[in-house]
């Protein structure tokens, strides 16, 4: 069954980016002339995704405005002889957008928005999961998701791995995997460089099959204290002899979640910095 659905979690207060996130949702912060999330959406569309499920905060409206039509703006552009700019404001074609609200006062963690989108999958269907505050940038416009899908066995699971300098691993969840087969083994959270199993980090971009998605849904039905991490049901799936393929990223990893990361992302996209 082809993969045609993507889940993009974008809910949350964006506390690391306060005070600007009081007025602008974190995923809508600009990278060049486009919001960060638009780079993820364009990657999905290039990969053939037909339905994108945004998991948004209650009362969110900025994504709906950005990815919707604005006929008043179009009329203004026509009236002022700026018809050529209408194409810039046109929403993406050949894709449907869906918006699922996440209650900030209920369960939280990276698994929760994925579980909220689970009922929209058909039995046996896999989905892409792409967290909404970072992206992989290819200057030539190549789709990182299309590459991931092409390297994932049909009906299988995969995750993107980004290589970082050894002295940076203590900031991330580091992937332990079989270097011969590429099979995922576990995530080691923020290890010291000497204890790190590799210098490849998890950036929460996955292809997950229906079995794993079911596990995520059931996991979030449990009454636990604290955060519901997406890696927990993935780890359990592997312990139960399931296979998740680790695919090293081709594009440059850009993170808009911090001020310095956001500034760097703009410098890369606008000025071609490395």
Distance of alpha carbon 119 from the chain centroid: 19
CA-to-CA distance for 152 and 235, rounded, in angstroms? 18
Distance of alpha carbon 228 from the chain centroid: 17
The answer to whether the beta carbons of residues 13 and 21 sit under 8 Å apart is: yes
CATH topology of domain 5-271: Spore Coat Polysaccharide Biosynthesis Protein SpsA; Chain A (3.90.550)
The predicted model scores a pTM of 0.95
For 35, 126, 127, 213, 236, the CA distances from 123, given in Å and listed in that order, are 33, 9, 11, 10, 21
Full pLDDT tens readout for the chain, 274 residues: 899 999 999 999 999 999 999 999 999 999 999 999 999 999 999 999 999 999 999 999 999 999 999 999 999 999 999 999 999 999 999 999 999 999 988 999 999 999 999 999 999 999 999 999 999 999 999 999 999 999 999 999 999 999 999 999 999 999 999 989 999 999 999 999 999 999 999 999 999 999 999 999 999 999 999 999 999 999 999 999 999 999 999 999 999 999 999 999 999 999 987 6
Closest CA to 206 of 161, 141, 266, 155: 161
β-strands 96-102, 51-57: how paired? Answer: parallel
**Paired strand residues for 98:** 53
């Amino acid at each position: 069954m082809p993969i045609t659905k993507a889940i993009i979690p974008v809910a949350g207060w964006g506390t690391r980016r306060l005070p600007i996130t009081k007025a602008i949702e974190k995923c809508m912060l600009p990278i060049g002339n486009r919001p960060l999330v638009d780079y993820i959406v364009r990657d999905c569309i290039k990969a053939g995704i037909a339905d994108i499920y945004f998991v948004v905060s209650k009362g969110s409206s900025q994504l709906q405005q950005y990815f919707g039509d604005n006929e008043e703006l179009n009329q203004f552009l026509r009236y002022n002889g700026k018809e050529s700019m209408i194409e810039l404001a046109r929403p993406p074609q050949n894709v449907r957008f869906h918006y699922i609200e996440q209650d900030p006062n209920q369960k939280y963690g990276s698994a929760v928005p994925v579980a909220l989108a689970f009922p929209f999958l058909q039995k046996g269907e896999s989905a892409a999961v792409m967290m909404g505050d970072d992206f992989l940038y290819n200057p030539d416009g190549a789709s990182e998701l299309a590459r991931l899908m092409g390297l994932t066995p049909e009906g299988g699971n995969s995750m993107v791995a980004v290589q970082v300098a050894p002295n940076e691993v203590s900031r991330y969840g580091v992937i332990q995997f079989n270097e011969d087969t590429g099979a995922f083994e576990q995530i080691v959270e923020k290890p010291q460089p000497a204890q790190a199993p590799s210098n490849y980090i998890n950036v929460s971009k996955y292809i997950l099959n229906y079995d794993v998605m079911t596990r995520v849904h059931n996991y979030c039905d449990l009454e636990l204290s604290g955060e519901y991490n997406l890696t927990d049901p993935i780890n359990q799936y592997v312990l139960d002899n399931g296979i998740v393929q680790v695919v090293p990223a081709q594009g440059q990893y850009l993170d808009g979640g911090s001020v310095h990361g956001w500034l760097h992302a703009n410098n890369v996209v606008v000025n071609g910095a490395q």
